[in-house]
Amino acid sequence: MALSRDQIAQRVALELQDGYYVNLGIGIPTLVANFVPDGMEVMLQSENGLLGMGQFPTEAEIDADLINAGKQTVTMATGASIFDSAESFAMIRGGHVDLTVLGAFEVDVNGNIASYMIPGKLIKGMGGAMDLVAGADNIIVTMTHASKHGESKLLTNCSLPLTGKGCIKKVLTDLAFIEIKAGKFHLLERAPGVSVEEIVKLTAGELVVPEHVPEMQF
Amino acid sequence: MALSRDQIAQRVALELQDGYYVNLGIGIPTLVANFVPDGMEVMLQSENGLLGMGQFPTEAEIDADLINAGKQTVTMATGASIFDSAESFAMIRGGHVDLTVLGAFEVDVNGNIASYMIPGKLIKGMGGAMDLVAGADNIIVTMTHASKHGESKLLTNCSLPLTGKGCIKKVLTDLAFIEIKAGKFHLLERAPGVSVEEIVKLTAGELVVPEHVPEMQF
Amino acid sequence: MAGFNKVVNSYEEAMAGLTDNMTIISGGFGLCGIPENLISEIKRKGCKGLTLVSNNCGVDDFGLGILLPDRQIQKIVASYVGENAEFERQMMSGELAVELTPQGTLAEKMRAGGAGIPAFYTATGVGTPVAEGKDVRQFNGREYILEESITGDFAIVKAWKADKFGNLVFRKTARNFNPMAATAGKITVVEVEEIVEPGELDPDEIHTPGIYVNRLIKGTFEKRIEQRTTRPAGE
Amino acid sequence: MAGFNKVVNSYEEAMAGLTDNMTIISGGFGLCGIPENLISEIKRKGCKGLTLVSNNCGVDDFGLGILLPDRQIQKIVASYVGENAEFERQMMSGELAVELTPQGTLAEKMRAGGAGIPAFYTATGVGTPVAEGKDVRQFNGREYILEESITGDFAIVKAWKADKFGNLVFRKTARNFNPMAATAGKITVVEVEEIVEPGELDPDEIHTPGIYVNRLIKGTFEKRIEQRTTRPAGE
């Protein structure tokens, strides 16, 4: 069965390591914070200028001067630091963030990602997404494997305008965990109960399937 | 008579304006701080990361963590701020300093300046001088008009490697105050008791001499 | 003599000299740390044909969004927009030009503008619509695009505290784009919650040195919250 | 698990992994704010063929100068050198390569290195020996040269205080090149006068966030003064 949003987040969380500085995008990526393994410490970077994002505030703690990149009120974790936007993106662009998790509309076999605009529809902008995909070495894209109409989002060539070129190496969908290398998708894991055939059918770009494809463990 | 070092500094100080942020180089330029007109406030920038340099410390005030660009122990003036070297040169390169005063070996009619190396002699480096001459709009060069051997330092073309190209518009020597524009030196003022003829003789580059050349007033 | 005292006593004085068709750089992220009252003064003055450089463009009735109904903004350079209906309408109809710029590139363009760096290379945007018409160059085997700096006729900034000399301290994530904006205006105007005497701020803790600040005014702020997210007390 | 605790307990551990021919970026201006003990550890280790990137190169018996007698430095990138006799001897004889870089360009090269900016344009050095071999380009009618960023295998930094997570606070002009150096090392090692618990530093007053810091050690410092200038008490 396809993973729920929480399950996607849960599987991503297994890629965390102790002492990681992590930037989580809006949507499913945000949920990853809920599944940090016990005894492991990670620090969340919010690109509006906060390293060490804490949980949401109580009513009494709300501070209009303390928000995250999604414009939500937040708190600071112990050991947090505050900086300006140039410093924040120096951190991101300079490759100092250990893991970035973000959503996408499409990815392709060359590691291209399209995530910010659909021509003809209202364009809101890329925010920090282009900087994040260009700056990070270690990125996990989370998305549904296919559209509601069954159209694959894992393509030979992205059809939408790109957010980044050749940046993506790991994709976690509701059906599979996929690595991108040498111009091909590689199937690493399948969601529990999801067949390799179903994944193959819904992957438009070339997919390398090893003899044994393990089910995801949580 | 040729101006003393203090007199050069005193004449430069008349170019100050209230509220000016000023960077003073090592040597004669440093002395300018002693001649700030009464009731006028200027703030000294030291390129190692201090805006609002104060006087030298007393023995009791000495702090190894507080020096100026000449590596001298200093104090901070009221309202001073501290920043890193990148920010300091952002300030300088970005043209935020109102006046820069620095020494030179040679200047020429095109506003070129040579101040940091004499081939064959020990080269210590340009420090912040290249940034200062490239970044400031308003620069006054202070130097002796000619060498001890009577060789002019105001040339058609600098003979030494340049510190900056086309940067200099004002030169105050021990003999004259000179403006550089449109590829020529222009004699603005002469030191008290110094004749126009003497200045002409010691100026190698083309010098425009107006009918009346006033004596400097202090 | 005035010396380094940057304090002005009215918003009219704070924005004096702003005229039609100027470029204004604004601090703020979403509605956090925006120069609320300086924006209101721009609305009151009614200047038109403005180019705004700001990460976002406010909401319908707050922040830079209030400059939309009177068509004061001709162009906006931003990373993320469209949080309000009038903005969408003007953008879709072509009345408002929008230059989308990646957030980090936007921050760096402002910093470069203030720092006398006319252009820099970045990997951000390579192979995307952002790269169109820009120089591409390889360094160490990777492609980068050339991005030019931004400066403004005015910069409008919100800080927390200042001394009279214009030394600024920001508070929490209301810092965001404000320090870079402060460096990039020909005239930089700052509004703050509190003005103290010179010497009261620790020189080591000043975020923006007063050299960048031309005018300073004390204001009162609504500080509207966009996404009020909370957890239950006791958790 | 170690989490974000960056504290190491010996200078040997602090500089572990440094080998011959590596590039080291160092903070400090003159003898102010230099990582004294990290430099001593480099001398003790005896690594050779090093490239040092630092505004200055210390004096004969203090600062980076102590690496000269054993010929550990192969090349230095600096803005101002030659405050010591052995340095001059090695430079004049060609044993030591010296790449003179304008001070502001050097600071910006370090910052760019840490910030993922491979190169930037600056007017500094146009028409001078510094411009030799570099691209020249016009922006708004003025010439600029292209300068490439610098990164190091190690960065060595002196801060005043840190929390265990490596969040740093600098003191007065001992800040200088240290914050940029901290961002530009593959491994950034910081020595400080005091280490406090996470949460004890005000997040708004942290100069360098801990994300840039790999190792942290508490040291004691001589803090030698180069030019001891004073005024009489009572003036």
Number of A to D CB contacts under 8 A, please give it: 71
Give the list of residues 6+ apart from residue D61 with CB closer than 8 angstroms, or none: none
Which of A21, A82, A90 lies nearest to residue D183, judging by beta carbons? A90
Tens digit of each residue's pLDDT, chain C (235 residues):
479 999 999 999 999 999 999 999 999 999 999 999 999 999 999 999 999 999 999 999 999 999 999 999 999 999 999 778 899 899 989 999 999 999 999 999 999 999 999 999 999 999 999 999 999 999 999 999 999 999 999 999 999 999 999 999 999 999 999 999 999 999 999 999 999 999 999 999 999 999 999 999 999 999 999 999 999 987 6
Strand partners, B184: B181
- Residue of chain C whose alpha carbon sits nearest to that of D112: C120
Query: Is the CB of residue C139 less than 8 Å away from at least one CB of chain D?
Result: yes
Task: Please check the confidence at residue A122 and state whether its pLDDT lies above 90.
Answer: no
Q: What is the mean pLDDT of chain A?
A: 96
**How many CB atoms are located within 10 Å of the residue A31 CB?**
20
**Which tens digits make up the pLDDT trace of A137-147?**
899 999 999 99
Contact C121 D118 (CB under 8 A): yes
In this prediction, residue D235 has a pLDDT band, given cuts at 50, 70 and 90, of: low
Nearest-CA neighbor of D219 among D2, D14, D50? D14
Taking the C-alpha atoms of B146, B147, B151 and B153 in order, what is their torsion angle to the nearest 10 degrees? -50
Number of C to D CB contacts under 8 A, please give it: 56
Nearest-CA neighbor of C54 among C36, B196, C69, C41? C36
Task: Please check the confidence at residue D166 and state whether its pLDDT lies above 50.
Answer: yes
Task: Please check the confidence at residue B75 and state whether its pLDDT lies above 80.
Answer: yes
Which of B59, B65, B134 lies nearest to residue D33, judging by beta carbons? B65
User: Do B and A touch, counting CB pairs below 8 Å (3 needed)?
Assistant: no
d(CA B88, CA B72): 18
d(CA A126, CA A197): 35
C186-202: b or e for each residue (b if 16 or more CB lie within 10 Å)? ebbbbbbbebeebbebe
Contact A94 D115 (CB under 8 A): yes
Which is it for the CA torsion B124, B96, D212, A131, positive or negative? negative
Which of C118, C142, C171 lies nearest to residue D204, judging by beta carbons? C171
d(CA A157, CA A154): 9
Pairing mode, strands A184-190 and D97-100: unpaired
d(CA B210, CA B212): 5
Q: What is the pLDDT of residue D1?
A: 46
Which of D120, D170, D203 lies nearest to residue C117, judging by beta carbons? D120
Write out the two tokens for A216.
């995801």
Please report, for chain D, the start and end positions of each structural domain, with discontinuous segments joined by +: 2-120+150-218
Contacts of D3 in chain A (CB under 8 A): 18-19, 40-41
Task: Please check the confidence at residue A113 and state whether its pLDDT lies above 90.
Answer: yes
| Fold for the domain defined by C2-120+150-218 | Glutaconate Coenzyme A-transferase (3.40.1080)
Tokens 């004699």 belong to: B187
Taking the C-alpha atoms of B19, B22, B28 and B30 in order, what is their torsion angle to the nearest 10 degrees? 90
Write out the two tokens for C83.
């949080």
Active-site residue B47, yes or no? yes
Distance from CA of D61 to the nearest CA of B (A): 17
Strand partners, B24: B101
Nearest-CA neighbor of B73 among B91, B60, B83? B60
Write out the two tokens for A213.
């494809």
Q: Which stretches of chain C sit within 8 Å of chain B by CB?
A: 1-4, 111, 113-117, 163-165, 167, 183, 198-199, 203-204, 206, 209-212
Give the list of residues 6+ apart from residue B211 with CB closer than 8 angstroms, or none: none
- Residue of chain B whose alpha carbon sits nearest to that of C3: B19
Contact D112 C120 (CB under 8 A): yes
d(CA C124, CA C100): 13
In this prediction, residue D61 has a pLDDT band, given cuts at 50, 70 and 90, of: very high
**Which tens digits make up the pLDDT trace of D76-98?**
999 999 778 899 899 989 999 99
Which of A89, A112, A123 lies nearest to residue C103, judging by beta carbons? A89
Do residues B133 and B113 lie in contact, with contact meaning Cβ atoms separated by under 8 Å?
Answer: yes
The subunits that touch chain D, with at least 3 C-beta pairs less than 8 Å apart, are A, B, C
Do residues A50 and A127 lie in contact, with contact meaning Cβ atoms separated by under 8 Å?
Answer: no
Q: What is the pLDDT of residue D182?
A: 98
Mutation to test the C interface, candidates B81, B93, B133, B137, most C Cβ within 10 Å: B81
- The amino acid present at B178, given as its one-letter code, is I
Taking the C-alpha atoms of C63, C65, C71 and C72 in order, what is their torsion angle to the nearest 10 degrees? 20
Distance from CA of D58 to the nearest CA of C (A): 25
Contact A58 C232 (CB under 8 A): yes
d(CA B140, CA B12): 8
Pairing mode, strands C185-192 and C215-218: parallel
Distance from CA of D89 to the nearest CA of C (A): 35
Which of D4, D114, D212 lies nearest to residue A19, judging by beta carbons? D4
Write out the two tokens for A95.
């490759």
Give the three-class secondary structure for D222: coil
Residue B16, CA distances (Å) to B29, B98, B100, B112 in order: 12, 9, 10, 23
Residue of B47, B87, B151, B206 marked active site: B47
d(CA C183, CA C109): 11
Average pLDDT estimate for B137-153: 96
Contact B43 C116 (CB under 8 A): no
Nearest-CA neighbor of C211 among B20, B18, B23, B93? B20
Q: What is the pLDDT of residue C1?
A: 46
d(CA B218, CA C139): 55
The secondary element (H helix, E strand) that includes residue D4 is none
User: Do C and D touch, counting CB pairs below 8 Å (3 needed)?
Assistant: yes
d(CA C197, CA A8): 54
d(CA C130, CA C128): 5
Distance from CA of A60 to the nearest CA of D (A): 20
d(CA D168, CA D213): 9
d(CA A130, CA C128): 9
Tokens 């993922």 belong to: D116
Give the list of residues 6+ apart from residue C235 with CB closer than 8 angstroms, or none: A55, A58
Give the list of residues 6+ apart from residue B155 with CB closer than 8 angstroms, or none: B106, B107, B108, B109, B204, B205
d(CA C171, CA C183): 18
Taking the C-alpha atoms of B140, B141, B142 and B145 in order, what is their torsion angle to the nearest 10 degrees? -130
CA D49 to chain centre: 17
d(CA B160, CA B113): 9
d(CA C128, CA A114): 9
Contact B96 C183 (CB under 8 A): yes
- Check: pTM over 0.95? Answer yes or no: yes
Residue A58, CA distances (Å) to A61, A79, C227 in order: 5, 20, 14
- Stated length of chain D: 235
Query: Is the CB of residue C116 less than 8 Å away from at least one CB of chain D?
Result: yes
Residue B218, CA distances (Å) to B3, B36, B139, D138 in order: 11, 12, 20, 42
Do residues B101 and D193 lie in contact, with contact meaning Cβ atoms separated by under 8 Å?
Answer: no
**How many CB atoms are located within 10 Å of the residue C176 CB?**
31
Do residues D24 and D152 lie in contact, with contact meaning Cβ atoms separated by under 8 Å?
Answer: yes
Residue of A41, A47, A87, A215 marked active site: A47
Contacts of C228 in chain A (CB under 8 A): 62, 73
